[in-house]
Amino acid sequence: MGNRRDAIFILLITIAILFLANVLSQYVYTRFDLTSEKKYSVMPSTRKMVKNLHDVVTFKVYLEGDMSAKYKRLRQSTRDLLNDLRAYGGKNIEFEFIDPVKGKSEAERKALIEELYNKGLAPANDQTGSANKLNNTLVFPCAVAYYMGREYPIQLVESQPKVDQEVLLNKSAVTLEYRFSTAIQKLTQYRQTKIAFSIGHGELNDDQVADIQQQLINLKYAVARLDLTKRYKVDEDFDALIIAKPLQPFDEKDKYKIDQYIMHGGKVMWLIDATTADFDSLKVNLTGQFVIDRNLNLEDQLFKYGARVNTDLVQDINMCNPIPLRVGSMGNGPQINLFPWYYFPTLISDSCKSPIVNNLDPVAAQFASTVDTIRNPGIKKTVLLHTSENSKAVMTPARVHFGILQQAPNPIYYNQPRLPIAVLLEGQFQSLYKNRLSSDFLAMGDSVSTLKFADHSADNKMIVIGDGDIIRNEMAPNNKFAYPLGFYSVTERTFANKDFVLNCIQYLTDSSGLLETRNKEVKLRMLNTGRVRDEKVKWQIINVLLPIGIVIALGIGFNYYRRKKYAA
């Protein structure tokens, strides 16, 4: 009877503890992230943002229905993240998962799919079934966030041709927090971030930056074209100024406008082609192109801020894009082969921990120039993109021609590793015109508050890139449409140019630290499909029979122990 009372007492205590734990779990939330890279932890900036919401943010996620296991894992990761956000945001975070197909008529399905398309959300092709029989279905890895009558589309998976789908989905799962937190930020900000593309000096036209401009608009940025030659100043209302591949020199008036914009807190992204190298000109002149300095008259200004775009051309024999060249005829048509073109390097960022380039794939460049940093006290310099270990810089004037492809390159001559192409500058910049302006000019500026001269800036930042083509998208034949930024039509491969440019803009304009959510590491722990196929039976036997054998052995051992102990 005593043992029975003790057992009942222990049972009641256990039930009470479980009941109390369930009650406390409604008020106290915690989650243990046991991954080494903290893949599933919510960043402090995200937690702070959702805790400060003043109204309900509703997420409608369309990743629901029949799909393969890899998309189900993405769906579960999305659900886990939204549960985490709701744990910190409370009743101000709501979400639902919607099957865009189930329970809807054909007309309703078409209307919903068309609505998602109009929001800029694209479906993905999902393959299910065995190797002998594959079924192709459409899934919609996307969501829409709603807040106080406003909405923001979220594409959970970006389409990248010729990229392994498992790798792509794994990266998408890691960047879920960045995508959802960006949506909340865009919906709750009191004003649109304004981006200006400078014109007036031969910069890239609307078609050449069509994709990045449309992407910025989709991300709720306000985008404008700013003619520096027709404005008396760069309005401080612009959060960032992008100078994309100017071809004509800047006069002192326009340089002064940019300088004072920076001194008053403006952010600038310089994408500079320092030489006259041009692939279109090279194709029509088979003897080669004589490349010289473009002479944009920006050297002294960038030098003052702490950087210098050199008048050289980078060659990289390890990482570069190929070009098609005719090598003969085949039948009635030309025979075209691909050759590595060392002047088209693909840039990497393996040594930089900046959130701009962390986990970033290679970025494609064309006729890039190196960027040197200048000893400038108070300015922090960070190299964002650089070449591979086997590269070199060719000083101009120089002749660029296809003859270099006739022989294999000798690595001995490509002995300038990790040449910097993109540099981030941060600190207090000194004005180029400090101690250079007359007292009469200064007095005139001081008389108008909006023109007041500043000889230095507060803490500021800018990015200097030695290639204007990094932001330029290719156009389809006959200029029918713009290819996505970073898409190289020769190989149909998509590089990370778009992610790099968007990260640069967000880093320059956003002080909340949301870009830090991209710092999570991506570690693929994939099964070895060959071993799975060859050792399938062995591991099935081990997983099924070994646990049963262990239980039987423990039972036999326990009975033997009891018999030996109580036999006397």
DSSP line for 199-223 = ESSS---TTTTHHHHHHHHHTT-EE
Query: Between 362 and 479, whose confidence is greater?
Result: 362
- Rounded to the nearest integer, the mean pLDDT of the chain is 86
Q: Which residues pair with 271 in a beta bridge?
A: 244, 465
Q: Strand 333-347 and strand 320-330: pairing? A: antiparallel
Q: Strand 240-244 and strand 267-271: pairing? A: parallel
Q: Could you tell me if 9 and 72 lie in one domain?
A: no
For residue 18, pLDDT beyond 60 = yes
Query: Between 527 and 488, whose confidence is greater?
Result: 488
Q: Could you tell me if 360 and 502 lie in one domain?
A: yes
For residue 40, pLDDT beyond 90 = no
Q: Does any domain span residue 533? A: yes
Instruction: Report the alpha-carbon distance of residue 246 to residue 423 in Å, rounded.
Output: 18
DSSP line for 436-450 = TS-HHHHHHHHHSGG
Q: Which residues pair with 345 in a beta bridge?
A: 320
Q: Does any domain span residue 114? A: yes
HEC profile of 58-75: EEEECCCCCCCHHHHHHH
Last residue of a domain, which of 186, 211, 230?
186
If phi over 0 gives left and psi between -120 and 50 gives alpha, with beta otherwise, what is residue 103?
left
Residue 522: per-residue pLDDT: 52
Tokens of 213: 């401009």
Mean per-residue pLDDT for 546-555? Answer: 89
Mean per-residue pLDDT for 391-395? Answer: 95
Nearest partner of 314 among 345, 282, 292, judged by Cα: 345
Q: Could you tell me if 496 and 545 lie in one domain?
A: no
Tokens of 442: 């200064």
Q: Could you tell me if 275 and 135 lie in one domain?
A: no
For residue 446, pLDDT beyond 90 = no
CATH number of the structural domain spanning residue 127: 3.40.30
Q: At 184, which helix (H) or strand (E)?
A: helix 176-188
Q: Does any domain span residue 436? A: yes
Residue 503: per-residue pLDDT: 92
Residue 329: per-residue pLDDT: 74
Residue 365: pLDDT band by 50, 70, 90 thresholds? very high
380 neighbors 528 (Cβ within 8 angstroms): no
Instruction: Report the alpha-carbon distance of residue 353 to residue 382 in Å, rounded.
Output: 9
Whole-structure pTM value? 0.80
196 neighbors 224 (Cβ within 8 angstroms): yes
No. of H helices and E strands in the chain?
Answer: 14, 24
Nearest partner of 237 among 267, 270, 205, judged by Cα: 267
pLDDT tens digits for 116-158?
A: 888 878 788 776 665 556 677 778 889 999 998 888 999 888 7
Nearest partner of 156 among 73, 217, 278, judged by Cα: 73
Q: Could you tell me if 110 and 235 lie in one domain?
A: no
Tokens of 497: 């140019």
Residue 28: per-residue pLDDT: 66
Q: Could you tell me if 152 and 247 lie in one domain?
A: no
Mean per-residue pLDDT for 469-476? Answer: 94
Query: Between 528 and 18, whose confidence is greater?
Result: 18
Q: Does any domain span residue 37? A: no
Q: Could you tell me if 239 and 106 lie in one domain?
A: no
Residue 525: per-residue pLDDT: 59
Residue 487: per-residue pLDDT: 92
Residue 72: per-residue pLDDT: 87
pLDDT tens digits for 151-193?
A: 899 988 876 555 566 777 777 787 888 889 989 988 888 888 9
Q: Could you tell me if 374 and 423 lie in one domain?
A: yes
Q: Could you tell me if 15 and 141 lie in one domain?
A: no
135 neighbors 161 (Cβ within 8 angstroms): no
Mean per-residue pLDDT for 254-283? Answer: 93
Residue 513: pLDDT band by 50, 70, 90 thresholds? confident
Domain count, the chain: 4
Mean per-residue pLDDT for 511-536? Answer: 69
Q: Does any domain span residue 171? A: yes
**How far is C-alpha 143 from the geometric centre of its chain's CA atoms?**
19
Query: Between 477 and 200, whose confidence is greater?
Result: 200
Q: Could you tell me if 148 and 282 lie in one domain?
A: no
Mean per-residue pLDDT for 491-519? Answer: 86
Residue 469: per-residue pLDDT: 96
- Give the residue numbers spanning the domain of 533: 529-566
Q: Does any domain span residue 519? A: no
Radius of gyration of the chain (CA): 30
Instruction: Report the alpha-carbon distance of residue 76 to residue 527 in Å, rounded.
Output: 20
Mean per-residue pLDDT for 241-268? Answer: 95
Instruction: Report the alpha-carbon distance of residue 52 to residue 555 in Å, rounded.
Output: 57
* Range of weakest confidence among 95-99, 176-180, 446-450: 446-450
Query: Between 506 and 9, whose confidence is greater?
Result: 506
Residue 450: pLDDT band by 50, 70, 90 thresholds? low
Q: Which residues pair with 222 in a beta bridge?
A: 194
Last residue of a domain, which of 148, 168, 186?
186
Q: Could you tell me if 140 and 200 lie in one domain?
A: no
pLDDT tens digits for 284-324?
A: 886 789 999 999 999 999 999 999 999 999 999 999 999 99
Sign of the alpha-carbon dihedral angle for 83, 58, 43, 386: positive
* Identity of the amino acid at 219: L
Q: Does any domain span residue 517? A: no
Q: Strand 93-97 and strand 57-61: pairing? A: parallel
Residue 6: pLDDT band by 50, 70, 90 thresholds? confident
**181 Cβ contact partners less than 8 Å away, ≥ 6 residues apart:** 43, 45, 46, 49, 514, 517
Mean per-residue pLDDT for 500-522? Answer: 80
Q: Could you tell me if 388 and 430 lie in one domain?
A: yes
- 3-class secondary structure, 553: helix
326 neighbors 338 (Cβ within 8 angstroms): no
Q: Given strand 333-347, what is the order of strands in its sheet? A: 320-330, 333-347, 363-364
Last residue of a domain, which of 157, 186, 215?
186
Q: Does any domain span residue 301? A: yes
